[in-house]
Amino acid sequence: MTTPWPPRTAARRPFPPGITASCEPVDPARIGRRVVRRRAKGMDVAAALEDARFDARQVSRHEDLAGDVRGPAELAEWERIEQLLAAAPAGTVYDPDTDLVVRAELEADAAAAAAREADLRAVARVAARADELQALRELGTLKQTEPRTGDEAARDELTRRASGYVQADVDGWLAHALAAHRGHYREPAAREKAAGLLSPPVLAHAALLAELARLMPDSNVDQMAFAARLATTEPEASGALAAFLARVEGTQL
């Protein structure tokens, strides 16, 4: 029996585990380094370095500031810039635009931001597909729908929205599609990938359906309804049964 799902609401959905909003986390040490670079541009670095060392000595006298990370990061950055200029031709002033360390950090930041945006776009696609599957359920046309790449994640999203309750109709739909090689499961690579995306009961259900259909080509979906119940309650036994049936050749059941 299909587990009831909660009604739609207009409330904003939380991000799935592992996905956060697209914003840069606060890093006091990084902020300190950026402040130093802005101040160091075109100025007397030696004097600023001495001031930073003085501040560090003052802070070291206060136990309540022992956990400060920005101060040490600023001092380390002043020292790095001072060493950078010491190795440069006389008269060189600091320019963050030509600093290879800064360039590398900016490239890493851009790559991280792009990855976060890609994650958010993927989450949005999954949510939209989950909404679509929900609508198909309500229309009673889910069984006739061709699955496509990413529907495994949409299944997980529907399960998450239902507070973890198994979505039997969606699981059965995917199991039948996987067994019959429908939709994106026509591709061997998609079927192989499904082994790491679908739950053991769904995989066992699909394997059992595939072997039963092979042995009894004229059977219909209603005749194999027991396979879903067996796979749900005993996925390991169902998988073992499917493996056993795979060795049966030409037997009329």
* pLDDT tens digits along 38-64: 999 988 788 888 888 887 788 777 766
Would 20 be classed as within a structural domain? no
pLDDT attached to residue 153: 95
- Classify residue 151: in a domain, yes or no: yes
CA distance 143 to 87: 70
Are 165 and 92 members of one domain?
A: no
Q: What is the dihedral of CA 89, 90, 91, 92, to 10 degrees?
A: 30
Which of residues 51, 71, 98 is at a domain's end? 98
CA nearest to 186, candidates 217, 214, 149: 149
Count Cα atoms within 13 angstroms, Cβ side, for 11. Answer: 8
Per the structure, the count of domains in the chain is 2
Per residue in 9-44, pLDDT tens?
444 445 454 444 445 678 898 999 999 999 999 887
Kindly state whether residue 87 falls inside one of the protein's structural domains: yes
For residues 70 and 156, state if they share a domain.
Answer: no
Answer yes or no: are the C-beta atoms of 205 and 228 closer than 8 Å.
yes
Query: Cα separation of 157 and 131, whole Å?
Result: 10
Q: Structural domain of residue 217, as residue ranges?
A: 136-245
Q: Which of 73, 98, 123 is the last residue of a domain?
A: 98
Residues 89, 140, single domain; the answer is no
Residue 120 falls inside a structural domain = no
In this predicted structure, which of 10-14, 82-86, 104-108, 127-131 has the lowest mean pLDDT? 10-14
| pLDDT for the residue numbered 181 | 94
CA dihedral 10, 129, 126, 234 (to 10 degrees): 110
Is the pLDDT at 4 greater than 60? The verdict is no
What gap in Å lies between CA 227 and CA 87, rounded to an integer? 74
- Separation between Cα atoms, residue 36 and residue 80, nearest integer Å: 11
Tokens of 43: 């100025």
Residue 84: inside a domain: yes
Q: Domain boundary at 47, 72, 98, which? A: 98
* Section 212-234 average pLDDT: 83
Closest by Cα among 204, 206, 135, 202 to 171: 202
Tokens of 74: 């600023």
Q: What is the pLDDT of residues 169-194, one digit of tens each?
A: 999 999 999 999 999 999 999 999 99
pLDDT for res 206: 93
Candidate ranges 10-19, 106-115, 230-239; pick with highest mean pLDDT: 106-115
- How far is residue 80's CA from residue 75's CA, in Å, rounded to a whole number? 9
Q: What Rg value do the Cα atoms of the chain yield, rounded? A: 30
Tokens 């006739």 sit on residue:
144
Report whether 77 contacts 49 (CB < 8 A).
Answer: no
Whether residue 6 is predicted with pLDDT greater than 50 in this model: the reply is: no
- The one-character DSSP state at 26 is P
Summarize pLDDT for 122-154 with one digit per residue, the tens.
Answer: 999 999 999 999 999 999 999 999 999 999 999
Decide if 163 is inside a domain. yes
Give the DSSP letter of residue 43: S
